[in-house]
Amino acid sequence: MMHFEFDVEGGNFIRAGIASSHVKKTLKLLAVDPTVVKRTVVALYEAEVNIVAHAYSGHITVDIGGDGIRMVLEDEGPGIPDVPLAMTRGYSTASDKVREMGFGAGMGLPNIQDNADSLEIDTVVGKGTTLKIEIKF
């Protein structure tokens, strides 16, 4: 089992993607099926960018081994008031500033769902959100 941890700073788009890039390199070195690598990287990158775009800070843990990849992304932020609405393609609460940078198109959570074998969303408005994402080998 391999275990990685990453801290994410809200609003720091320059560092957005560090976790997904590191995990991608690791999976390639482990000769993981390219389809699994792609699904993992898409799900992790989308979740990582959501922390940067919407939260004050976050923490990511990634475990690789056994029958797949397990990712937990916890953030301190506004939470998600309406999860079913947030899962709607094109729905976004991103600020104008975030949209001007090319993010916030409302595809993050749907893209995570499309690429994950399982996705759990635990959220408390005014406190933060935790995503648990699993991708099988």
Dump pLDDT digits (tens) for 39-77: 999 999 999 999 999 999 999 999 999 999 999 999 999
Sign for the CA dihedral angle at 87, 77, 39, 97 comes to positive
In angstroms, the Cα distances linking 69 to 24, 28, 56, 61, 110 are 12, 13, 26, 10, 19
Q: Give the pLDDT confidence score for residue 71 in this predicted structure.
A: 98
State which residues of the chain have pLDDT below 70.
none
Q: Which tokens in the block code for residue 7?
A: 């801290």
In angstroms, the Cα distances linking 82 to 8, 119, 122 are 24, 16, 11
Q: Please give the Cα distance from 54 to 76 (Å, whole number).
A: 9
Q: Where are the beta strands (DSSP E) in 10-126?
A: 57-65, 68-76, 118-124
What domains, with CATH codes, occur in the chain?
Answer: 2-136 (3.30.565.10)
pTM for the whole thing? 0.94
